[in-house]
C-alpha cells in the first residue's frame, strides 16, 4: 500500500529534488538533475523502488516543519524512551559575489541527514537501498574504508555516516543509539570519484546545514511580499525556487513523474520538464514577489535554447537537453498499483498556441518591474523578440489546437487559446510603446488584429443555452480555463456574461470550493480529481469582481487543503480530500501566490464586500 501523496515534503538544491514521507523515508530522488533517472522510487513501486529510510525503536509519534524561511526539513520523532530531531537538506553553496547572470547557488549532488537526540535515549537505524535507472540497473554495494559504495555502470552513490555504515544484503545500514545531546549523521553523495570529496565528519555536515539555512533565509528575505498570507505565499515561492534548474534557468512543472490524476485510471504523466505556460506563469509570480532575478534567468533559458525568445518557441523543453520520448516503465507497479508509469511526455509535439500570450505577459510584467530597463542581454533584441512572437501568434490565430489541458482527442478552436492570442498582441503593443525600435504602424496593426480576435472569441465562445463562455467554438462543454482568461484581462470580471460564466462553472464543474477543469470525455480512463489551480483562479475572479468577502473565505479554506507543510499536488479528490497527481505542482503554487496578491489588492480597493456590495461599488466607479 503506497503512502498518501500528501505525505510528502520536498527538499532540493535547485538542481534536483527529493521527496520525504512523514515517516522520514526518502522515497523519490533523481540525480543529478530533476529529469535524471530516479535512484529512489519507492513512491512508484513499494517493493522494487529503492529508498533511504529511518526506523526508530518504540516510535510513538512524528511532527515536522520546514526550518522557517528555508527548504530544510525538520522532523521530530518521539519514542517510548526519548525524542530525536532530524534535519534533511540538500546543500546549496552561494557564490561570492553573486553573479549578475547564472546560478545563485551551487549544488553538490549531496543529501545530508543530521539526527540529534534531544531528550532521553533513542535508537534505530537508517537503511539505504538505491535502485538505479528507475530500478532497471542492478548493483552490488561494497564497503570502502568507512563508507559504502553503490555502483552500476555510470551510476554511483556513496554512503558516509556516523556511526559507520555496514552491509545488510543489498542495503547499507547505519545503526544508532543516542543519548541526549548525541548526534548521528548520514551523507549521500552522487557521482563522486574521489574519497576526499566525501563528508567524513559531523563538523562538515553541520557546516553545510548552516550554510544552506543561511542561503535560503537570504533568498526569502528578498521577497517584497508583506501581506496577511506570508506563510503560504513564501512556502509556495520556496517550492517554486526548488523547481528551478539553476544551471540553465529552466523551471520544471513538478518534481515527480507517474503519479496518478485518476484512481483508477491511466493519467500518469511525467512533469519534470519546463512547460512554457507553467514557467511563464511562475515568472509572473516571482516578479510580483520581488524575485526579478529568477524571471531574468528564465529569459536566459529561452535565449540560450531558442535564440531570440520565440524564434522556435515550443510548448515544453528539457531543463538542459532536448525532450526524451515518452516511455512506459512497465516493470513498475505504480503508486497504489495505478499504471502505466510514464516518463518523457508526448504532449511536447502538440500545438498549443496560447503559449505566445503566456510568454509575452510574463515578459511585460518583468519589463514593468524593472521600469523597462532590463539587463542588456534581455533588452538588446526586444524589437526582434516582439516581431517573432507576434508573427507566430497572428499566423496561428485561426488554427485549432490541443489547448491548455493537452487533450489527446484532437484539436479544437479553444476559447482560452484565442484569448491568449489577444493577450499576446495587446501586451506586445504595450511593451513596444515603452521601448525604441518598433514602428507605430506595426504597433497599430497588432492592436487592430487583437481587437478582431477579441470580437471573435466574445461572439463564438458564448453559448446562449449555457449562458456561459464555453471551452471551444460551437461546443457545449464548460472549461475552467475560461476563469484564467478573466485573470489575464481578456474578459471583464464585472461583465454580466463573465459573472454568468463563473456561476455556470461553479454549478457544473464545482465541488464545494473545488473546481474540475472540465467534465467531458477526453479519451482517457478514470475520473480525475479537481484541479487545484482552478480553485485558486476562482478566488481571483471573485476578488477582481469585488466579491472579496466570499473570495477571502474560499481562499482560506483552500489553504487548509494543503498538506501539513503547505504543499499542493496537481489535483484534489473531492470525495476524500486526498491529493492526486504529480507533486508538488508548480501550477498549483503559482496560482496560490497570484490569488493571494489579487485578493489583497481587491480588499484594498473594495474593502470586504459581498456580491451586492461589489456590484454597487463597481457601478459607482
Instruction: Give the pLDDT confidence of 245-288 residue by residue, as tens digits.
Output: 999 999 999 999 999 999 999 999 999 999 888 888 888 999 99
What pLDDT score does 195 carry?
46
What pLDDT score does 434 carry?
94
Grid cell listed for 26 = 526518502
What pLDDT score does 478 carry?
98
Q: Which of 23, 4, 155, 134 is nearest to 78 (CA)?
A: 23
Q: How far apart are CA 223 and CA 243, in angstroms?
A: 17
Is the pLDDT score of 194 beyond 50? no
What pLDDT score does 279 carry?
80
Helix axes 292-306, 355-369, angle to 10 degrees: 130
pLDDT averaged over every residue in the chain = 93
Q: How far apart are CA 463 and CA 461, in angstroms?
A: 6
Contact between residue 147 and residue 158 where contact means Cβ atoms under 8 Å apart: yes
396-432 residue pLDDT tens: 999 999 889 987 778 999 999 999 999 999 999 999 9
The one-character DSSP state at 72 is -
Is the pLDDT score of 616 beyond 80? no
The one-character DSSP state at 198 is S
Q: What is the mean pLDDT of residues 543-555?
A: 97
Q: What is the mean pLDDT of residues 89-98?
A: 87
Q: Which of 164, 132, 168 is nearest to 151 (CA)?
A: 132
Burial group, residue 441, by CB count within 10 angstroms (0-12, 13-18, 19+): exposed
Residue 610 Ramachandran class (φ > 0 left, ψ -120 to 50 alpha, else beta): beta
Residue 265 Ramachandran class (φ > 0 left, ψ -120 to 50 alpha, else beta): left
Q: Could you give the percent of the chain with pLDDT greater than 90?
A: 80
Helix axes 548-559, 586-606, angle to 10 degrees: 150
pLDDT band, very low/low/confident/very high, at 438 (cuts 50, 70, 90): very high
Domains parsed from the chain with CATH numbers = 5-219 (2.70.98.10), 222-620 (1.50.10.10)
The answer to which of 190-194, 386-390, 399-403, 617-621 has the lowest mean pLDDT is 617-621
Residue 484 phi, psi dihedral angles, 5° rounding: -65, -35
b/e 475-490 (16+ beta carbons within 10 angstroms → b): bebbbbbbbbbbbbeb
Amino acid at each position: 500500500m503506497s503512502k498518501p501523496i500528501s505525505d510528502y515534503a520536498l527538499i532540493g538544491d535547485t538542481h534536483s529534488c527529493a521527496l520525504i514521507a512523514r515517516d522520514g523515508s526518502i522515497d523519490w530522488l533523481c540525480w543529478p538533475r530533476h529529469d535524471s533517472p530516479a535512484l529512489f522510487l519507492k513512491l512508484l513501486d513499494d517493493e522494487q523502488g529503492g529508498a533511504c529510510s529511518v526506523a526508530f525503536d518504540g516510535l510513538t509519534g512524528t511532527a515536522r516543519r520546514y526550518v522557517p524561511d528555508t527548504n530544510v526539513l525538520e522532523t521530530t520523532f518521539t519514542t517510548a524512551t526519548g525524542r530525536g530531531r532530524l534535519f534533511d537538506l540538500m546543500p546549496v553553496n552561494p557564490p561570492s559575489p553573486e553573479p549578475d547572470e547564472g546560478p545563485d547557488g551551487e549544488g553538490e549532488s549531496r543529501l545530508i541527514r543530521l539526527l540529534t537526540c534531544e531528550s532521553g535515549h533513542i535508537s534505530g537505524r537508517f537503511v539505504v537501498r538505491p535502485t538505479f535507472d528507475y530500478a532497471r540497473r542492478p548493483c552490488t554495494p561494497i564497503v570502502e574504508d568507512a563508507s559504502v559504495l553503490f555502483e552500476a555502470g555510470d551510476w554511483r552513490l556513496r554512503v558516509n555516516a556516523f556511526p559507520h555504515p555496514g552491509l545488510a544484503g543489498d542495503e547499507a545500514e547505519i545503526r544508532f543509539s543516542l543519548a541526549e545531546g548525541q548526534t548521528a549523521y548520514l551523507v549521500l553523495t552522487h557521482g563522486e570519484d574521489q574519497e576526499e570529496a566525501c563528508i567524513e565528519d559531523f563538523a562538515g555536515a553541520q557546516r553545510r546545514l548552516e550554510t544552506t539555512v543561511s542561503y535560503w533565509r537570504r533568498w526569502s528575505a528578498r521577497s517584497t511580499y508583506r501581506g496577511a498570507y506570508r506563510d503560504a505565499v513564501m512556502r509556495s515561492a520556496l517550492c517554486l525556487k526548488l523547481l528551478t534548474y539553476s544551471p540553465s534557468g529552466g523551471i520544471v512543472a513538478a518534481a515527480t513523474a507517474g503519479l496518478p490524476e485518476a484512481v483508477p485510471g491511466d493519467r500518469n504523466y511525467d512533469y519534470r520538464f519546463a512547460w512554457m505556460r507553467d514557467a511563464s506563469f511562475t515568472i509572473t509570480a516571482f516578479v510580483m514577489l520581488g524575485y526579478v532575478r529568477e524571471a531574468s534567468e528564465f529569459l536566459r533559458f529561452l535565449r540560450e535554447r531558442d535564440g531570440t525568445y520565440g524564434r522556435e518557441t515550443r510548448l515544453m523543453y528539457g531543463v538542459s537537453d532536448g525532450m526524451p520520448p515518452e516511455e512506459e516503465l512497465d516493470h513498475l507497479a505504480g503508486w497504489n498499483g495505478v499504471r502505466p508509469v510514464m516518463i518523457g511526455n508526448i504532449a511536447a509535439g502538440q500545438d498549443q498556441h496560447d503559449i505566445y500570450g503566456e510568454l509575452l505577459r510574463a515578459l511585460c510584467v518583468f519589463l514593468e518591474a524593472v521600469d523597462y530597463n532590463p539587463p542588456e542581454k534581455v533588452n538588446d533584441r526586444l524589437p526582434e523578440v516582439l516581431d517573432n512572437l507576434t508573427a507566430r501568434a497572428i499566423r496561428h490565430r485561426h488554427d485549432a489546437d490541443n489547448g491548455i489541458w493537452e487533450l489527446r482527442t484532437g484539436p479544437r478552436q479553444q476559447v482560452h487559446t484565442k484569448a491568449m492570442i489577444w493577450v499576446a498582441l495587446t501586451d506586445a503593443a504595450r511593451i513596444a510603446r515603452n521601448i525604441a525600435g518598433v514602428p507605430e504602424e506595426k504597433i497599430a496593426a497588432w492592436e487592430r488584429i487583437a481587437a478582431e480576435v477579441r470580437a471573435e472569441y466574445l461572439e463564438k465562445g458564448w453559448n446562449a443555452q449555457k449562458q456561459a463562455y464555453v471551452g471551444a467554438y460551437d461546443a457545449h462543454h464548460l472549461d475552467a480555463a475560461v476563469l484564467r482568461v478573466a485573470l489575464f484581462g481578456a474578459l471583464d470580471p464585472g461583465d454580466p456574461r463573465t459573472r454568468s460564466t463563473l456561476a455556470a462553472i461553479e454549478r457544473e464543474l464545482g465541488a464545494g470550493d473545488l473546481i474540475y477543469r472540465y467534465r467531458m470525455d477526453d479519451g482517457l480512463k478514470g475520473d480525475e480529481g479537481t484541479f487545484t489551480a482552478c480553485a485558486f483562479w476562482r478566488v481571483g475572479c471573485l476578488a477582481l469582481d469585488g466579491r472579496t468577502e466570499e473570495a477571502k473565505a474560499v481562499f482560506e479554506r483552500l489553504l487548509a487543503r494543503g498538506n501539513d507543510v503547505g504543499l499542493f499536488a496537481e489535483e484534489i479528490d473531492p470525495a476524500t480530500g486526498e491529493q492526486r497527481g504529480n507533486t508538488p505542482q508548480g501550477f498549483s503554487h503559482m496560482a496560490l501566490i497570484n490569488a493571494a496578491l489579487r485578493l489583497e489588492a481587491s480588499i484594498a480597493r473594495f474593502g470586504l464586500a459581498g456580491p451586492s456590495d461589489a456590484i454597487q461599488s463597481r457601478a459607482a466607479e
